[in-house]
Chain A
Amino acid sequence: MDIQTIIFIILAAIIGVCSILAITTRRILRSATFLLFVLFATAGIYFQLNYSFLGAVQLLIYAGGITILYVFSILLTSSDGDRAEPLKSKKMIIGLLSTFAGLGVCIYVIVKHKFTEPVFQMGELNIRTIGHALMGTEKYQYLLPFEVISLLLLACIVGGIMIARKR
C-alpha cells in the first residue's frame, strides 16, 4: 500500500462521512460546514490527480465563495435554534430505497464497464497551457465557452440583484 492509496482512503473517508453527515444533520449550519469539508476533500482529490490548478479553483470558488454564500444565507434565513423536524420513516424508506437502487445500478455499471486501458501519467499541468487553451479559438481551445460562462455570470449577477432586491 503506497502513499497515494493511503491519501485516497483518507480523502474518500472524509468525503463519504461528511457527505452523509451533510445531508442527515438536522442543523443547517452544520450541514453547510460538512459540505465545506466535502469540498476540501474534493480539492484534495484534484491535487492527487495532479490538477493543482483545478484544486485551487475548487478551493477558491467552492470552498471560499459558494460556502460563504451559504453560510450568509443560512444566517439570514434561520434563527438560532432552528432544527429540521425529524424525517417520517415512510419518506425515509422510500428515499433510501430509490437511492440505493440508483447507487447499485451505477456502481454495477462502473464496475462492469470495460473502459479503454486507464493509464495514470504523473505530470503537472502547466498554467501556460491552460491559459492558451482557454483563450484560443483553435480546436481544443475554449474561448467560446469561456465567453458564454462570462455572459452567464453577468446575467446571474443582474438576475440575483433583480430577484433579491426589495420591492
Chain B
Amino acid sequence: MVQMEWYLVLSTFMMFAGVYGFFTRRNLLTMLISIELILNSVDINFAVFNRFLFPEQLEGVFFTIFAIGVSAAETAVAIAIIINIYRNMKNIQVRNLDKIKEE
C-alpha cells in the first residue's frame, strides 16, 4: 500500500523542479512550463489530501478541477502576451523585457 507521504514527497519534488526551472531559465516559454509544473504538483496535493484524509468529501477534487481551469486561462493569456512580445522584439528572452518599459 502506498503511503500518503510518498505522494507528497513526489509532488514536492516536482514543485521544486519547477521552481528551479523558473529561477534559471531565460526563455519565457520555459518559465511558463516551470509554472505548469508547480501548479500540477499542487493539484496532486489536493487530490491526495482529499483521498487520504477526507475521503467522504469532494473539496480536493473540485479545487483540482478549478485549478486546472485557472491554469488553462493563465496559460492562454500568458501565451498571448508572449506572442505579442515576440512580435515586438523578435525574441522571448526574459532579460530583454525591460526594453518594453522604455517604449
Contacts and interface: CB of A to CB of B under 8 A. Distances in A.
Interface of A: 2, 4-5, 8, 12, 15-16, 19-20, 22-24, 28, 31-32, 35, 38-39, 42, 45-46, 48-51, 53-54, 57-58, 61-62, 65-66, 69-70, 73-74, 76-77, 84-85, 87, 91-92, 94-96, 98-100, 102-103, 106-107, 110-111, 115-116, 118-121, 123, 125, 129-130, 133-134, 140, 142, 145, 149, 152-153, 155-157, 159-161, 163-164, 166
Overall SS of chain B's interface = helix
A94 B92 CA distance: 23
Overall SS of chain A's interface = helix
Contact of B18 (A23, A111, A123, A129): A23
A54 B69 contact: no
Interface in B52-92: 52-53, 55, 57-59, 61-62, 64-66, 68-77, 79-84, 86-87, 91-92
9 contacts: A16-B13, A31-B30, A32-B33, A45-B44, A58-B43, A69-B79, A70-B32, A77-B91, A106-B16
Interface in B11-32: 12-21, 23-27, 29-30, 32
